[in-house]
Amino acid sequence: MARRVAIVGIGQTYHRSKRPDVNIGELSAEAVRAALEDAEVSANEIGAYVTGNMELFEGRYAQDMWQADYIGAVGKPGIRVTTGGTTGGTLASVAFEYVASGVYDMVMALGFEKQSEGDTRAGLKTVADPLWSRWYTTGAIGYFASQARFYMKQAGAPEEAGSMVRLRLAKHAALNPHAHLRLDLQSVEQIMESPYLIPPLRQMDMCPTSEGACAIVVASEEKASKMARKPVWVKDWISVHKEVVYIRGERHSVADLEMAAGKLFQRNGITRPMEEICVAEIYGPCTWAELEWLEAYGFCEKGQAWRLEEKGQFYLDREFPVNPSGGVVCTNPIGATALIRVAEVALQLRGGAGNHQIARRPTVGFSSAWGGSGWTVAHLLSATKD
Amino acid sequence: MMMENKEELLQQERMLHVRFGWSAGPYLGRFLAELRDNGRLWVVRCPGCKRILMPPRIVCATCYTRAPEFPEGWFSLSGKGTLLDWERVIYPQMDPETGEIRPEPYLHGLFILDEGVSFGHYLGPEDLDEKRLREGMKVEMVMKAPEDREGKLTDIKYFRIMEA
């Protein structure tokens, strides 16, 4: 029987577009030290390390080996996780599994990215099968432009809907000192002036390239109950792939998101997700993805997310806040991005998010990770053990 | 603290050229060879769930039944279909085949072929006016000249809008 697992330490760097002042090891150390300080433990107490980033972005093989010296991992077991966009989510899942299995009592999960050291767009193009679909890929921008177009058509959403999402995320990010883009955006009209990448996707709809790192300390129930910090309990987690190459007659499939959230909610007895879940940090690489995916996760009916956005329902002072951190559209150090989702939900659940703490007193939170073009990881966290 | 004085910081640049050689295997390999040599889209039907496997694969991804090797159970698609969606790419993109920036703008289409499988490719001809495009328009595959084909999906020149 798996053991109960809790998050007992959270750390992240201040995310920027470039961090030429540090190397990868130093950047990683910033997050690790912050997580250790937060957990009030020393590196000696960490039994194993799970680290990860995007496989091809910085051009280093066996990155975990290079990093070990900087993060307190020398002489310890561990593994590098590199599952693309989902990396940060998988990092959390693997750390949970390490502790739940009973093999380790305390594990550090660390995700980072230093995109300026390589070529993100070239790295992303290698995601597609080299003999089948790589020739025509337009990277994340092409994928999400087509997704945006599809959502507008399916949901009857106006082009302003994406900008409404960005306005909410900008307002949230402005309150989060760790967010990368903390722009003073005041109106939908202002965001609609942002240039197109591929219509209808605008520059301000899309996530930035960020550099930064995030780390969490995960502990067993026995350890967690003796720690200084109030533990945030892990309820459940899931990972789902969909068939990527073969698509029959579907312009745009969200089957992986639907399967992941559907199974996760079903086996945890969650029948009205938007009421029962108090806060969601979802992995939305663009504004339009947030809308479509809130529907895919089952938080609202198809075609309704933009209407709820229009009414301001996802702001952090409302009943169902979405991405109170500012989300991926404001901060995207890719290998850390999905781990930030988990960390931010944990911060909210223990009431420690500071200026971007949500108004509602949260009991259960949801975080998600997504990787192109059909891999979803999701987690349910709880403020209480039961 | 971030330091802005770059002179004190060392950042070194390298350009790497790396060779790759990907094996297509007998299923996708046959598809690509037929495309190059005969300008046809050859696919295989899954003996288990009867889906068309496009591209052809050794097993079906959903029922995991093994697909027979060419030619048993294989047939060629008509190369005709219906336009589902399209996008106008205006953002300069690296062509992963060459590493060069692709000329833009261009139109990329998504079609459902008459046999029921979806497929994406360029929309043509080159002077095609996007304003003419409507969902449901009939499209037809246009191949490059035989001497220009390389056993790649870009041996297809584009999908041509059939209606005036």
**Tens of pLDDT, residue by residue, chain A (386 residues):** 589 999 999 999 999 999 989 999 999 999 999 999 999 999 999 999 999 999 888 888 888 888 999 999 999 999 999 999 999 999 999 999 999 999 999 999 999 999 999 888 888 878 788 888 888 777 788 888 888 998 999 999 999 999 999 999 999 999 999 999 999 999 999 999 999 998 899 999 999 999 999 999 999 999 999 998 899 999 999 999 887 654 545 567 888 999 999 999 999 999 999 999 999 999 999 999 999 999 999 999 999 999 999 999 999 999 999 999 999 999 999 999 999 999 999 999 999 999 999 999 999 999 999 987 789 999 999 999 97
Domain A5-121+209-230 and domain A131-205+233-382, same fold? Reply is yes
- Report ipTM (2 d.p.): 0.84
CB atoms within 10 A of CB A101: 11
CB contact under 8 A, A122 and B93: no
Among chain A residues, CA nearest to B104 = A198
Residue A91 in contact with residue A118, Cβ under 8 Å?
A: no
**CA neighbours within 13 Å on the CB side: how many for A138?**
27
- How far is residue A136's CA from residue A145's CA, in Å, rounded to a whole number? 14
From the list B6, B20, B28, the residue facing A20 with the nearest CB is B6
Is residue B2 over pLDDT 60? no
In this complex, is the C-beta atom of A195 within 8 Å of any C-beta atom belonging to chain B?
Answer: no
- How far is residue A189's CA from residue B25's CA, in Å, rounded to a whole number? 52
Alpha-carbon distance A100 to nearest alpha carbon in chain B (angstroms): 31
CB contact under 8 A, A142 and B93: yes
Mutate one of A151, A197, A198, A288 to test the B interface: name it (highest B CB count within 10 A). A198
Among candidate residues A123, A354, A364, A7, the one with its CA nearest the CA of residue B94 = A123
Residue B7: per-residue pLDDT: 66
CB contact under 8 A, B61 and A126: no
Four-way CATH pick for A5-121+209-230: 3.90.1150.10, 1.10.240.10, 3.40.140.10, 3.40.47.10? 3.40.47.10
User: Residues A358, A385, A96, CA angle at the centre, nearest 5°?
Assistant: 90
Between chain A and chain B, how many beta carbons pairs sit less than 8 Å apart?
A: 100
CB atoms within 10 A of CB B29: 15
- pLDDT, one tens digit per residue, over B128-158 is 999 999 999 999 999 999 999 999 999 999 9
- pLDDT, one tens digit per residue, over B52-91 is 999 999 999 889 999 999 999 999 999 999 998 888 888 7
CATH class held by domain A131-205+233-382 = alpha beta
Structure tokens at B126: 């080159």
Residues of A in contact with B108 (CB under 8 A): 136, 138, 142
Adjacency order of strands within the sheet including A211-220: A78-81, A48-52, A106-114, A211-220, A5-12, A232-241, A375-382, A364-371, A279-281
Residue A98: per-residue pLDDT: 98
**CA neighbours within 13 Å on the CB side: how many for B6?**
5
Domain boundaries, chain A: 5-121+209-230, 131-205+233-382
CB atoms within 10 A of CB A117: 19
